Structure 1
Amino acid sequence: MTQRRPATATWFVTTRDRPWQSRSGLHVDTVSARPDVIAKMDQPGQAIEGFGASFNELGWGSLELLDSEQRYEVLRELFAPGVGAGLNLCRVPIGANDFSREWYSYDETPGDFALEQFSIAQDHDTLVPFIRAAQAHQPELQLWASPWSPPTWMKTNGHYAGAMPAPGWNDTDNGLNPDQVGTEGTDMFILEEPYLRAYAAYFGRFIDSYRELGIPIQMVMPQNEFNSPQVFPSCTWTPDGLAQLLTHLGPEMQQRGVEIFLGTLERGNDRLLGDILAAPQGAAYVTGVGVQWEGKKAVAALHRIHPDLRIYQTEQECGDGHNDWRHARYSWRLMKHFLNNGANAYMYWNISLLEGGRSRWGWTQNSLITVDPQDHSYRFTHEYYLLKHLSAYVQPGARLIDTWSLAGFDDQLIFRNPDASVVVVIQNDLSDETDVSVLLGDRMITATLPADSFSTILVPAP
């Protein structure tokens, strides 16, 4: 017979209509009948470094519409440990990205190989105050950075973009001419020594400039989506081109104590990174890889073939600006896929946008927060609460725990924290409530999960 003691676990539930509700009715059993899910507590997986999102110019612009008290509460909920999501690992663009106000780089003076005109002045308006506001709530915030495009004078087409707008889908003019269009599988960067040296130094100047402001960058990736010529800032590279850059970028970052990850990979082909790693001179500086979008098809192979490299999921697929429950359910599938295939960190994309989520280059995306430009109100979206279901209680250094189900349950992620507490995140995707029991070593938790819901259960250390 099962013997029960009073529940000592914490349980939060999110449904479409009621986010992050504290629930009762959870049982922690000392002896159990047959469970639905067995956690393999003696077989811990990869260490989890954290969860986060990206600092973008349009994100700060939306938050500036809030009054100071509202903005404080939003950032506290996002970043303060033990309060809300507790985000601890975030991305910073090096120059303009697709959610900047406009194109810019830190040095648009042609031929300035000495970087005498280098300046991060524009970042003082947006990115710097955004990051500092987050640091005020999360002093241990870890940051990594990547460019979307080098300065235009370092590129073969002399332009920040690589593709022309598509009529009917994106009609925002970027000024690109037909003869400037980039092609996947080519290098849009000028692969000559003076340019490679100057670009590596450009990264170094960025690191130094931010460090002087009290914003340390722990890691860089050479290029966002290096296979994709886009209507917004972008630059294609071949594996050979990136390998050449690494021979210059490596020493610049090494002398500053900054790591280099390969990425971001947005194609389902692990060989694109494998070919770079095959070049020993640059690969010696690489400590991890960044994977996003269709890179999900390569993440399992990367984890298996390169087990010594850490893996960051660098940008969750961004949605369409509707911020609906449908996309939150899809996002859960992405989280399970990346984390079950070796990811050490998981990052959302836009922190905050105006309602509709429209970028400078004409497309719309989701965000963790939306701001109404009419009445200057805000709301946390479904995907924010989903991210919170993992980030609120999964501590840096937690280990993913593999699971086995006797009854077909496969909608859970389980983590063991460094303090020996256990976090169970589980979805009930059915239209009816369902009972579930999960065996954690010699303890079993049982609960009735509401219909179409996400749950987080925090079980203290034995």
Structure 2
Amino acid sequence: MISKPSVAKPFYIKMFAVYRHVILLFATPTLLEALVLAGDNSVLEVWLTTGDGHKKLSHESSVHASQGTNGGQLVMVNRNMHYQTVDGFGAAISNSAAYVIYHSPQRHEIMQNLFGSSGIGISYIRLTMGGSDLQAVPPYTYDDLLSGETTDFNLNHFSIDKDREFIIPILKEAISINPKLKIIASPWTAPAWMKTSHTLFGGAFRGEDRFYQALSQYFLKFIQAYAAEGIPIDSITIQNEPMLSRDSYPTMTMSWENQRDLVKTYLGPLFKSHNIKSKIIIFDHNWSGSDYPDHILADSTASSFIAGVAWHCYEGRHDTPLYFHDKHPNVGMYFTECSGGGWDTNSAGTLVFNMRNLFIGQTRAFAKTVLLWNLALDEHSGPKVGVHGCQDCRGVVTVNSIGGYQKNIEYYSIGHMSKFVQPGAIRLESPYFGWDDLHTVAFKNPDESVVIVIVNANSGHTKSFTVEIDGKHFHYSNLPNQSVVTFILK
């Protein structure tokens, strides 16, 4: 006698396969959804960082499509509503950053963690053109004079040789790990002989015809010299923080009129005549100074050469680029600098700030890049220019002078974007819930996968929610307070 289980199980499976169309005719809406979900293998991949530090970019169990919203907030992602294209996420390779990585016994491991697919896959970096306040060697530019010389309008002394010691090797290694890596380059100062101070520290750009010509040639030669090294420069900013002058480290002021005239009459036409594809980005200073780029863009000739405006985080409202974009919808927004440091010892609060104000906040404000300040510094927040400049800035990683390194909260903040959001991704529509609530952003990658990043900015409560996309629902329970999660739908 044949036992019942050995006969009944295949019998009922076959009957369902044959008659499922009949069942559907009489099914209720709830049953219909259940039957559809029974054959739906859609899942969200999950990566989590918690504010308490217990989980750091941790690969969690996937979330499967479920029936209904199961309560909580509804995060609706509209795949058909497109915003800006993303260029990438990362930080700056200052002289100090390159130095500490290059001289670390764990150099190659650090580079893989920063730029490799097994790490956080940084896709965009900012390069200091010459000296800044974070220097392992004395500050320099690419056209410094010999003793007794006063000018060099033909740029006879132009050279990137000082970058060859450790900056260019680090850049080449980064590109070998991630060939899609893009670079934006920014000078902290022009050569001293182009300035009113006649030094690299402080002073203003000398806005006269021959200095405009010389500075334009300076940018051209820099781009060409780096191209000869196999390092393409995607973009340049005219001047880092052009409203700041300090007599203790490399800085230079440049009025908006000077920046406008440089781009309009000299640099823009020069790039065009030499078929230079590197984008020209203006401003590169705080959210609070939006009048500066607004004045420049009011000139139609100047604006025809300008690809975007760069922003820093140190003053002003983080949503300034959103309103600026509304006024200048054809101008790209680039977020290029914000630093963590000894002043922000609450890592959970730093994580929320980084995600809410920067990586989510700036991309929701149309930013094509979100970049932090130093990619790496040592345990003393250096090397730096004496006791000047930032004294307690923190790198994305801390590389100890006696060996070893630590991944800081900035590493995981960048990673929640750069590891998953591919260059060329398009931002999609997703909801805003409130300042101390969930903050969301979503992207469609070139390979059609969708990335959704959500931070729970509330300091006291977990959050449960349902992600809805393409008519499917994915319920996620109890995202801890001050924590961030990245979902990937493939």
After TM superposition, the structure 1 = structure 2 runs for residues 316-331 of structure 1, keeping only pairs within 5 Å, are 316-320=338-342, 324-325=346-347, 326-331=349-354
Q: Percent identity?
A: 26
Q: Which has the larger radius of gyration?
A: 2
- Deviation of the 1:154 alpha carbon: 0.8
Deviates more, 1:427-436 or 1:328-337: 427-436
- Deviation of the 1:138 alpha carbon: 0.9
Unpaired runs of 5+ residues, structure 2, are 1-29
Does residue 473 of structure 2 align to residue 444 of structure 1? yes
Q: Which residue of 1 aligns with 2:74?
A: 36
1-structure distance, mates of 2:86, 2:188: 26
Contact map agreement 1:399 1:415 (CA 8 A) in 2 = yes
2-structure distance, mates of 1:217, 1:361: 30
- 2:486 alignment partner AA: T
1-structure distance, mates of 2:330, 2:433: 32
2-structure distance, mates of 1:267, 1:348: 15
- Residues 388-443 of structure 1 deviation map (CA, whole Å, 9 limit, x = unaligned): 01111111222222323689953222222222221111123444543221111301
- Residues 374-397 of structure 1 deviation map (CA, whole Å, 9 limit, x = unaligned): 3x0111111111210111111122
Does residue 284 of structure 2 align to residue 260 of structure 1? no
Deviates more, 1:301-310 or 1:353-362: 353-362
2-structure distance, mates of 1:447, 1:355: 38
Cα distance change, pair 214–14 in 1 and its aligned pair in 2 (3 A): same
- Deviation of the 1:195 alpha carbon: 1.2
Contact map agreement 2:332 2:367 (CA 8 A) in 1 = yes
Contact map agreement 1:253 1:260 (CA 8 A) in 2 = no
Q: Which residue of 2 aligns with 1:227?
A: 243
Which one of the candidate residues 38, 51, 54 is aligned to 2:89?
51
Q: Which residue of 1 aligns with 2:4?
A: none
- Deviation of the 1:56 alpha carbon: 1.2
SS, match of residue 224 in structure 1? coil
After TM superposition, the structure 1 = structure 2 runs for residues 122-271 of structure 1, keeping only pairs within 5 Å, are 122-162=162-202, 182=203, 188-230=204-246, 231-246=248-263, 247-254=265-272, 255=274, 256-271=276-291
- Deviation of the 1:257 alpha carbon: 2.4
SS, match of residue 396 in structure 1? coil
2-structure distance, mates of 1:31, 1:328: 31
- Equivalent pairs counted in the alignment come to 432
- Residues 273-306 of structure 1 deviation map (CA, whole Å, 9 limit, x = unaligned): 1211223333221111111123645312221111
Q: Which residue of 2 aligns with 1:380?
A: 407
Q: Which residue of 1 aligns with 2:487?
A: 457
Q: Which residue of 2 aligns with 1:18?
A: 55
Q: Which residue of 2 aligns with 1:398?
A: 425
1-structure distance, mates of 2:114, 2:296: 36
Contact map agreement 1:322 1:356 (CA 8 A) in 2 = no
**For the aligned residues, what is the CA RMSD?**
2.3
Unpaired runs of 5+ residues, structure 1, are 163-181, 183-187
Q: Which residue of 1 aligns with 2:20?
A: none
1-structure distance, mates of 2:197, 2:61: 61
Contact map agreement 2:339 2:374 (CA 8 A) in 1 = no
1-structure distance, mates of 2:224, 2:62: 53
- Deviation of the 1:105 alpha carbon: 1.0
Give TM-score scaled by structure 2 length.
Answer: 0.83
Q: Which residue of 1 aligns with 2:5?
A: none
Give TM-score scaled by structure 1 length.
Answer: 0.87
Contact map agreement 2:356 2:455 (CA 8 A) in 1 = no
1-structure distance, mates of 2:96, 2:125: 16
1-structure distance, mates of 2:290, 2:312: 12
- 1:289 alignment partner AA: V
- Deviation of the 1:197 alpha carbon: 0.7
1-structure distance, mates of 2:432, 2:462: 19
Structure with a larger share of its residues in helix:
2
Q: Which residue of 1 aligns with 2:310?
A: 290
- 1:344 alignment partner AA: K
Does residue 375 of structure 2 align to residue 351 of structure 1? yes
